[in-house]
Amino acid sequence: MANPVAMVLEGILSLLFPPRCEVCGTLQEAVICASCAADFIPITEPFCRQCGLPFDPLAHALPECAVCRSEPPVYDAARAAGVYGGQLRRAIHLLKYDGVRALAAPLGDFIAAQVEPPFPVDCLCPVPLHPSRLALRGFNQSLLLAEEIGNRWGMSVQAELLQRTQNTTPQMELPAAERERNVRGAFTVFGDVRGRSIALVDDVYTTGCTLRECARMLKRAGAERVLALTVARAI
């Protein structure tokens, strides 16, 4: 039997603090309202089969974009659920910088529902934060996203495989030309990845430098294939 006192307190709290969309503040039950979710622009085919960059659907494009043809990325494929902009961008920022952890569930679900892995994956591995930054933020948004994807896909999350051993400057504070050098050697593989297919999970694919460096270290340690998974892709 439900506790009547708890029910009364819950009712009072609901009146004082009614549930709202975490993105726009609209009064409603869902973490992200239908209007904000409708603003998400999903990435669908055609796109580059390696880096996932969307193509003009009316263009007769080759399977890979010009960048991947000239310099194939170290990962085997990258996929993003949506275009980085609008309410999707706001939702990611609220999760990452404002600590609205409730957004991890719908954003992780967005990836799991929108992305079809191009090859079988053995486990999910979140892009790690340096311990000092993790202590400052209090959580790793990539781990929260990976856990949600793992629940949807029935797949294990193995955060211990990869660790950030250098406390580098945040990528968003640097021009694109300096980002590759900034993360070089910043990650170390501690688990056994030999012969395994691993999906790296992060929030946004911007220049791709962090994901490429993580993939490089995993491949160097013997990983067979690496898939880069993100909520959004900057276009």
Domain boundaries in the chain? 1-39, 41-233
> Which of 164, 143, 131, 30 minimizes the C-alpha distance to 95?
143
Q: Tens digits of per-residue pLDDT, 165-192?
A: 998 888 877 887 788 888 999 999 998 9
Handedness of CA 113, 117, 123, 125 (dihedral sign): negative
Answer whether 193's CB lies under 8 Å from 168's CB: no
Task: Check residues 12 and 188 and name the one with the higher pLDDT.
Answer: 188
Q: Across residues 143-154, what is the average pLDDT?
A: 98
Question: Which token pair is 81?
Answer: 């659920």
Is residue 12 predicted with pLDDT exceeding 70? no
- In this prediction, residue 2 has a pLDDT band, given cuts at 50, 70 and 90, of low
- In this prediction, residue 36 has a pLDDT band, given cuts at 50, 70 and 90, of very high
How far, in Å, CA of 122 to CA of 65, rounded? 27
The CA–CA distances, whole Å, from 150 to 119, 138, 166, 175 equal 16, 21, 27, 33
Predicted local confidence at residue 6, as pLDDT: 52
Predicted local confidence at residue 234, as pLDDT: 95
Full-model pTM:
0.89
- Residue 64 makes CB contacts below 8 A (sequence gap 6+) with 48, 49, 50, 51, 72
Q: Across residues 208-218, what is the average pLDDT?
A: 96
Q: Across residues 6-19, what is the average pLDDT?
A: 54
Average pLDDT of the chain is 91
Per the DSSP assignment, residues forming a β-bridge with 52 are: none
The CATH architecture to which 41-233 belongs is 3-Layer(aba) Sandwich (3.40)
